Amino acid sequence: MERRSRRRRMLVVAAAGGVLALAAGLAWFQPQKLLIDERVDEALPAAATAPPGTPGDTAPAQRQARRPDPEPKVLAAGPFRSLGHATSGRAVALELADGRRFLRLERLRTSNGPDLFVYLSTAAADAPRDTFDDDFRSLGRLKANQGSQNYEIRDGIPLDRYRTVVIWCRRFTYAFGAAALG
């Protein structure tokens, strides 16, 4: 009888350990993300304007006559190429009239993942996948794996040095796709 009780206890402990291991694996790998697409469609970024009634604000009549802000200036652009996952779309570096710079991902389509970021890298877009995180600047977490989205490029990030945009999975140190800013 004691042998049966001991065996049952070992089975319960093993089953509980298996459930915990499965739960930990699901939390770490997040395989459900492969089945769920997230979409963001942001408008083009616009230059900042002074709010009405602040110094430098033009009179209402002059404001109405003023032309709309010019389109952002394209500094560089390039199509995505697939690396670890099928990735398509276009990366565009933009400069607004007020001097701020943005990276715009247009019509992006890639796989979803548990820890995706947008990097600017010094590695060439056709470099080996494991080199994109050798010298990079993170622009932040990827907002969605589909659609068009904007990321501010902070001052001090020279686009003549960081010429490649990478969709990077930080958890698994893995590049999904890259675009050369040419």
**Token pair of 40 as six digits:** 């963001």
d(CA 165, CA 169): 13
| pLDDT at residue number 49 | 66
- Give backbone dihedrals phi and psi of 115, rounded to 5 degrees, phi first: -155, 60
**Alpha helices in the chain, H assignment, sequence order:** 2-29, 60-65
Q: Does the pTM of the predicted model rise above 0.85?
A: no
Which pLDDT tens digit goes with each residue over 75-92?
999 999 999 899 999 999
Domain positions in the chain are 1-36, 69-182
